[in-house]
């Protein structure tokens, strides 16, 4: 089976540099896949991506060595299994708030006897190789997103679920949950403390921790702190920023109604 | 009929700041359309765009005040008419090398008696208004691309075709034609001289001149020279550059096999 | 943030004239959006519409002042949030049968602290403006569909859920639930009484009431009764009716196997 | 091979009642195909239809007994052959202005020795049956559109091309060509005279004549005159008309910016 | 209403020969639909199929007499109802493990008073006829998949749910559940015994039994045993096998990395 | 630049084993790409493939070492250049009948000064590497199809065009041209003689020869004869054959209306 480089990097205690995809297109994805990221995450929750575009995007990523990750729209076994069958090597699952949620995630990702994933790795076997079924349980990675007060309250219970590989922090939702402004690269105290708590607990439980960042500078700090999966910006926001910089240089200023995608 | 701001800006001797689209997707297009460009050009020649994706992209542009422009793949009346029917307010046509080519372009863009455009502005009438048919001949803009030796030789003949509104320079093809390296923001002498010649002749004939640029700095110089339609970079290249800058900051260097789309 | 005209009309006690979309295409949608409706509803439950076509259709609607509404396929937070992120200004949710159902709907539509909507208004911020996140909770509208006996039994409980803006009646399902023929523009007594009851209770609770109609004549009566959101026919049925009228005029009669889409 | 009902109706001197498709979608097409038309024409010239959507639409038509016709965007052998391979039973070709144009059309539609159609009826053989190749030359129908002054001047030459089955009149283009207003159901004298001339000459040459109409009333008159293939309105215009009638009834009047698709 | 041939064959105690579709394309589906299967199943669970491609595929199947079946991705009323509305004549539902699961399936498939299916057979009425609503409850067929230990334990309870028409065995999942190798055409004893048990119990309860097979030989044996719905291979696997046989003949051997889709 | 294995195999006088694609889908393509072919050809002439699906398919092929080839629909510089930009490593061009045709093909495929290909290798540079532009002229392969009497008459002139790499025989069209039955694996004398003539002349001119075959047995004979590029069957026909074999085994016979795609 094709190696899951996310696990290999973690085995060497290195951080995964992850790109983020919101544009549902294979060419933009292939462009991103050639930029040097360790992994690329298709955002099926807030990105403009559905199943069929996701398959096209996973195919585009498969033309490179970049690892394919999918954030599913919701903790739903149907879509988790479908994305694994399509060749995702990691799943990021939003709104994992309880031990039961975490167990549901782990169970959906593993074949029996460890879980209840249904058998049919239709594209995964093309991407990974004919022995996919044998090794999938040990290879694919599941991230539980910690982004609500409830999840913070249940942190130890969630982190102690057997088979849970990693947690992922969405700072915008976590900020809202704590009464702060929804944004990346937070410095508001309640959010920073929650981030530190999640990281510390995760490391205690031997669970990898990931976080979404707006800038490489903040992401580098997160790696230093101990995060081992850091996302920076997204396809759409990098494009919008680049375009707005050009327009600003051409005109001296941006028009008032210039706006970027809200994620 | 909805005003063609390209003509309005030209009437005030102002330059159109044009963005470029190669990604066949409505969301990336809508993102670009909110960045403040005067116009956006769908590149159906070298971009990954066909008719159906072009319609989706024109629809996305129509959610803003940005003007919709289309570079057609070839001097073919069928596709020129189809894109005008779909609501394009300007057409950029590659490889216009002779007076006959220029006439063919102009003819395809105008209803009789000025030309032989076939009647059926199916989406154009939604975008422009019910009186589209009455005003289209005076509103839509046609650009002839000057990018071969043959075109340089026939410059006066091409520019004197009645109804030709504008010329557009693709520096990469022009460079190849003159034995230079295919790239934007040229400083090789034969190309610079050809660019200056085209600009001078165009102004002589009262024809607007446009040019493709890699950076805003070069584009600003071109406006100073007299160009009135300047393109800077593209959706895919802005995204790729942004992504590579992030990866480089994260890692200290780009991997050797990092590459950007070739346009 | 762009104004939600549904709320503005309601503030003036005026009725929203709503069109209905079942055809998954941006051009047919743009055609409908130019016909003068106050709002257009994408029917993701019984229409032939999925997420990706819905985004294309929302983009088409955004070229006009018509308000975008989405009927989701099911009471599922994942799809409700995805459609709001894509720019829907109102959600119609089928089969809201209990107080818990209504609470689930409201919660999915509001950011914390009022609800648990996850943050990432990717296209909504392009459509609505950069301040979308600040105003979304007060702007977007949620309709609970009342269409089962259980829902009728729980009417007061459902209507008293804080944050529930409106109810919507699907006469076909309501008819089936009451042992009557599934159709619009009902005059069978049990259905008429249920409709009147829902309307009366809704007004009592300060909740707006909407209803699906087959003809403008019936819809006008519903407005007179007090409904403030009336749908008439749909894109597919208007087209089918028009086509069948033409064929009938041409031939004197329709062929026996002529049939319209079943919604 | 499945019978071409267009030829069968003509053999009985009956007129074909033809519907028109501009919306690139299989469900709207299937809806139209169940309305009782003899044939449906996919308009790839002015409609929003490209090859891939055309295949989906031809498939939808194939669920019924309605005959599939395609108007190609231009007199181009590549697309004519591709649409025949996809199962079109008739081709309407725009802008046939000379004898050479008509010969080019006929040649592209027939296998050797009658023409030079390339062999590969990929979907046609599924639709028509395994013996398609044997009978195609005698079954598929080619329409030359007569819509310019040049075509009127060359009428006899065009009509005498062996193997040309039919002509088709686009009244909008014909009107423009004759200095009149581009519209259907013309009563301006130069256009009416040209229509009568084309019809008379066609019958003289044993060639069937077709015409595009705005209303069934006008189409019935055309049948009486001798036309044997009459189109009435289109999917998009029937839908738009229906929608505007509803809105008008609901409001007393249409908003000023209401507009229909321009074909 | 168009006859459901699955029920007609069962009424004569004949077995349905079912093909399987994993490729999300209408042309490959139409090709399969012309091969002589009694029915074709769109696999939305492990196949690369989503809602929009499923509609295109159902349309392709509707060009023939082959019966359209859909395996939904999960026991979710939203998607079950959407696929019935789209014209599916049978639903195969994965992971039906309890009596409650089976009841949920049956309820989602029947209009009141037998169930709670929501009314809106948008494409079903085109495919089946205008009287679809009247006969649908008696015509459409629901298969519960028995593929876990829990389901085996609850077999009698599941099979005694009123309105459950059939069960379907996925041997790969059943094998995994019983600690065996996930594959078709099983001869491992625990799986064979479970298969026999399910068949025996199903017949006892008057419920039809179906099974997925790798080869026609095994499928014929299953029919002899008493199965009345047998699937053999799939579009993708038939294509892959054919391709690999060709390559092997051409080269003497397959390259080491040749692989087939994992379902 | 990524090596063009077609040229490498030819340099070692080995034959390229080529697969053929008519289904416009990335998953079926990826399945084919894992079957061990040296190259896969997207048939845009008779296959159900347009530009956008072709890009998805080229992306799928790029996940493997299989070489991407495109048969364009027609000798049209626009589409030839677009497919090269999309990453095709070889172009098969139908209906090359004269020296001028062959020159047009070669010119469209080479950058100046050898030809007039326009610069913009948008996806080709991702697939091939950043140095694509430098090496493309020497790497990409052009096949002229010899399939008419006219082409046979002009054989020497065609074959002596500088830069023409290869010829390709479509036996069906060649058969029709010579008054024989259109099919693969021909044994009718006029066709066999023409095939032998083309091969002999090609070798004389140092031009590689390719041919389309129905079975591996015939293809092996062709290699023995001297052909160095042999196609066997296609995705759709392999699937259809496999399906019909299964049905035949299950039933004893195929139904009378069973049919395969006509290419």
Tell me if chain C has a CB within 8 Å of the CB of A110: no
For the stretch E187-204, pLDDT in tens is: 999 999 999 999 999 999
In this predicted structure, what is the pLDDT of residue B26? Answer: 98
Contact list, F27 vs chain A (CB under 8 Å): 55, 59, 122-123
For A171, C18, C78, the CA distances from C72, given in Å and listed in that order, are 28, 16, 10
Query: Taking CB atoms and an 8 Å cutoff, what residues of chain E touch A50?
Result: 50
E50 to chain C: closest CA residue: C50
Neighbours of chain F (3+ CB pairs under 8 A): A, B, D, E
Sign of the torsion formed by the C-alpha atoms of B172, B177, B180 and B185: negative
- Going by pLDDT thresholds of 50, 70 and 90, the confidence category of residue A175 is very high
Longest dimension (CA), chain D: 63
User: Which E-chain residues 56-75 have CB contacts (< 8 A) with chain D?
Assistant: 56, 59-60, 62-63
Q: Indicate the helix (H) or strand (E) that contains A135.
A: helix A132-139
Tens of pLDDT, residue by residue over F214-241, are 999 999 999 999 999 999 999 999 999 9
Hey, is the C-beta of F36 within 8 angstroms of any chain E C-beta?
yes
φ/ψ region of D167 (left if φ > 0, alpha if ψ in -120 to 50, else beta) reads beta
pLDDT at F166: 98
Q: Which CATH architecture has domain F5-232?
A: Alpha-Beta Barrel (3.20)
Cis peptide before E185 (omega within 30 of 0): no
pLDDT-based confidence at residue A44 (cuts at 50, 70, 90) = very high
- Hunting for tokens 């215009």 — which residue is that? D237
Domain residue ranges in chain B: 5-232, 235-263
How many alpha carbons lie under 13 Å from residue A188 in its C-beta half-sphere? Answer: 15
Q: Note whether A110 and A117 are within 8 A (CB).
A: yes
Does A contact F via 3+ CB–CB distances below 8 Å? yes
B31 close contact with C: CB closer than 8 A: yes
**Does residue E76 carry a pLDDT above 90?**
yes
Residue of B59, B47, B52, B45 lying closest to B21 (CA atoms)? B47
Look at residue D4 in the predicted model and tell me its pLDDT. Answer: 98
Share of chain E above pLDDT 90, in %: 99
State chain F's mean pLDDT as an integer: 97
Q: How far is it, in rounded angstroms, from Cα C123 to Cα C116? A: 19
Which pLDDT tens digit goes with each residue over F54-72?
999 999 999 999 999 999 9
Q: Quick check: D22 and D261 in contact, CB under 8 A?
A: yes
Q: Rounded to an integer, what distance in angstroms lies between the CA atom of residue D194 and that of residue D185?
A: 13
Written as six digits, the tokens of E232 are 């053999």
Low-confidence ranges of chain C (pLDDT < 70): none
Of E146, E52, E70, which Cα lies nearest the Cα of E108?
Answer: E70
* Mean pLDDT, residues E170-195: 96
Average pLDDT rounded to a whole number, residues B117-135:
97
Q: Residue B47 to residues B235, B238, D89, E190, F106: CA-CA distances in angstroms?
A: 10, 14, 34, 57, 22
Which residue of the set B46, B135, B205, B212 is catalytic? B46
pLDDT score recorded for residue F263: 85
> For residues D122 and E27, what is the distance between their CA atoms, to the nearest angstrom?
10
C118 to chain E nearest CA, in Å?
Answer: 22
Alpha-carbon distance values, B54 to A175, B217, E120 (Å):
39, 29, 33
Pairwise CA distance, residues B103 & B110, whole Å: 11
Q: How far is C4 from chain E (nearest CA, A)?
A: 28
Instruction: Give the mean pLDDT of E30-38.
Output: 98
Nearest-Cα distance to chain B for F126, in Å, is: 6
Instruction: Say yes or no for a CB contact (<8 Å) between B262 and F132.
Output: yes
Q: Is chain F adjacent to chain E, meaning 3+ CB pairs within 8 angstroms?
A: yes
- The pLDDT score that the predictor gives to residue A226 is 98
Provide the pLDDT for residue E230: 98
b/e sequence B51-83, b meaning 16+ C-beta within 10 Å: bbbbbbbbbbbbbbebbbbbbbbbbbbbbbbbb
pLDDT above 90 for B68? yes
Q: What confidence score (pLDDT) does residue D184 get?
A: 94
Q: Does the structure show a pLDDT above 90 at E113?
A: yes
Written as one string, the DSSP assignment of C47-110 is: SS--HHHHHHHHHHHTTSSPEEEEE-SSS-HHHHHHHHHTT-SEEEES---SHHHHHHHHHHHS
ipTM score over 0.90, yes or no: yes
pLDDT at F118 over 90: yes
Q: What is the rounded CA–CA span in Å between residue D99 and residue D109?
A: 16
Query: What are the tokens at B39?
Result: 């116009």
B62 interaction partners in chain C (CB closer than 8 Å): 63
**Which backbone phi and psi does C122 adopt, to 5 degrees?**
-60, -50
Mean pLDDT of chain E: 97
Interval D38-62: pLDDT, tens: 999 999 999 999 999 999 999 999 9
pLDDT given at position F30: 98
- Decide if pLDDT at A263 tops 90: no
F222 class by beta-carbon count within 10 Å (0-12 exposed, 13-18 middle, 19+ buried): buried
Collect all residues of chain D within an 8 Å Cβ-Cβ radius of residue E35: none
Mutate to test the interface with E, among A58, A78, A121 (most CBs of E within 10 A): A78
CA neighbours closer than 13 Å in the CB half-sphere of residue D5: 14
Contact state of B239 with A27 under an 8 Å Cβ cutoff: no
For residues B126 and B121, what is the distance between their CA atoms, to the nearest angstrom? 9
- F179, HSE (Cβ side, Cα atoms, 13 Å): 2
Cβ(B20)–Cβ(B235) below 8 Å: yes
* Residue of B23, B35, B245 with shortest CB distance to A243: B35
Are the C-beta atoms of E186 and E180 separated by less than 8 Å?
A: yes
Q: How far apart are CA D236 and CA D216, in angstroms?
A: 16
Partner D contacted by F53 (CB < 8 A):
yes
Q: Residue C159's Cα: distance from chain center in Å? A: 17
Chain D nearest-CA distance from F92, in A, is 14
- Among all residues of chain F, which has the CA nearest to that of E25? F25
Which strand (E) or helix (H) includes residue E245? helix E235-251
pLDDT computed for residue E263 by the predictor: 85
Place of tokens 């626009």: F78
Whether the CA torsion F172, F173, F175, F181 is positive or negative: it is positive
Active site (annotated) includes residue A46? yes
Q: Do chains E and B touch (3 or more CB pairs under 8 A)?
A: no
The rounded mean pLDDT for chain A is: 97
Q: Decide if A122 and E22 are in contact by the 8 Å CB cutoff.
A: yes
- Sequence length of chain B is 263
Q: According to the model, what pLDDT value does residue D263 have?
A: 85
Give D50's contacts in chain F (Cβ within 8 Å). 50
Return the residue of F nearest to B262 by Cα: F122
Cα end-to-end distance, chain E, whole Å? 34
CA-based nearest residue to C28, from F181, A28, D23, A160: D23
Q: Contact, C136 vs C123, CB < 8 A?
A: no
Alpha-carbon span F238 to D75, nearest angstrom: 34
Cis peptide before C113 (omega within 30 of 0): yes
CA–CA gap between residue F82 and residue F117 (Å, rounded): 10
Q: What is the pTM of this model?
A: 0.98
DSSP summary character for residue E47: S
CA F221 – CA F117 distance, rounded (Å): 37
Q: How far is C172 from chain E (nearest CA, A)?
A: 6
C36 lies within 8 A of chain A by CB: no
In degrees, rounded to 5, the angle at the alpha carbon of residue F262 between the alpha carbons of residues F257 and F263 is 145
User: How many residue contacts between B and C have a Cβ separation below 8 Å?
Assistant: 40
Phi-psi region of C200 (alpha: psi -120 to 50; beta: other; left: phi over 0): alpha
Dihedral sign from CA coordinates of A32, A36, A41, A46: negative
Q: Helix or strand or coil: residue F104?
A: helix
Q: What is the CA radius of gyration of chain A?
A: 18
What positions of C carry a catalytic annotation?
46
Q: What is the pLDDT of residues D66-88, one digit of tens each?
A: 999 999 999 999 999 999 999 99
Q: Where are the beta strands (DSSP E) in chain A?
A: 16-21, 39-43, 67-71, 90-93, 141-145, 166-169, 208-213, 229-232
To the nearest whole Å, the CA of E178 is away from the closest chain A CA by: 9
Q: Say which of E34, E46, E205, E212 is annotated catalytic.
A: E46
The pLDDT of residue C245 is 98
């Amino acid at each position: 089976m094709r190696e899951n480089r996310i696990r290999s990097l973690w085995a060497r205690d290195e951080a995964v540099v992850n790109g983020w995809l919101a544009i549902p297109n294979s060419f933009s994805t292939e462009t991103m896949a050639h930029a040097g990221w360790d992994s690329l995450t298709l955002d099926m929750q807030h990105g403009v991506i559905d199943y069929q575009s996701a398959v096209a995007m996973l195919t585009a990523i498969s033309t490179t060595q970049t690892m394919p990750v999918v954030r599913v729209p919701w903790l739903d076994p149907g879509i988790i299994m479908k994305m694994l069958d399509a060749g995702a090597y990691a799943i990021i699952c939003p709104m994992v708030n309880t031990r039961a949620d975490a167990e549901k995630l782990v169970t959906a990702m593993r074949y029996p006897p460890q879980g209840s994933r249904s058998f049919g790795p239709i594209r995964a076997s093309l991407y990974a190789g004919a022995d996919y079924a044998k090794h999938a349980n040990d290879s694919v990675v599941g991230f539980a997103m910690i982004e609500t007060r409830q999840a913070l309250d249940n942190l130890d219970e969630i982190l102690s679920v057997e088979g849970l590989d990693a947690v992922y922090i969405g700072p915008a939702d976590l900020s809202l949950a704590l009464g702060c402004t929804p944004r990346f690269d937070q410095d508001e105290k309640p959010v920073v403390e929650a981030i530190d708590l999640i990281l510390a607990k995760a490391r205690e439980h031997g669970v990898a921790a990931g976080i979404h960042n707006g800038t490489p500078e903040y992401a580098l700090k997160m790696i230093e702190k101990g995060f081992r999966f850091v996302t920076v910006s997204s396809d759409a926001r990098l494009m919008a920023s680049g375009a707005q910089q050009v327009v600003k240089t051409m005109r001296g200023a941006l028009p008032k109604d210039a706006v970027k995608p809200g994620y």
